[in-house]
């Protein structure tokens, strides 16, 4: 599953993936994490 999620991250924007992976509550935290990694 991690492989698929990783591909989605590179294919779509962080916000799109975050919405599918986690709820809106953690959306902000994950969005910042992706911003730093990317």
Q: What is the pLDDT of residues 1-36, one digit of tens each?
A: 566 655 655 555 665 655 555 555 555 555 555 555
Query: How does residue 38 score in pLDDT terms, banded at 50, 70 and 90?
Result: very low
Ordered by start, the domain boundaries in the chain are 2-37
pTM for the predicted model, two decimal places: 0.15
* Spatial contact of 18 and 30, defined as CB atoms under 8 Å apart: yes
* Spatial contact of 10 and 18, defined as CB atoms under 8 Å apart: no
């Amino acid at each position: 599953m991690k492989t698929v999620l990783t591909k989605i991250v590179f294919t779509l924007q962080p916000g799109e993936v975050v919405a599918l992976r986690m709820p809106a509550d953690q959306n902000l935290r994950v969005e910042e994490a992706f911003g730093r990694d990317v």
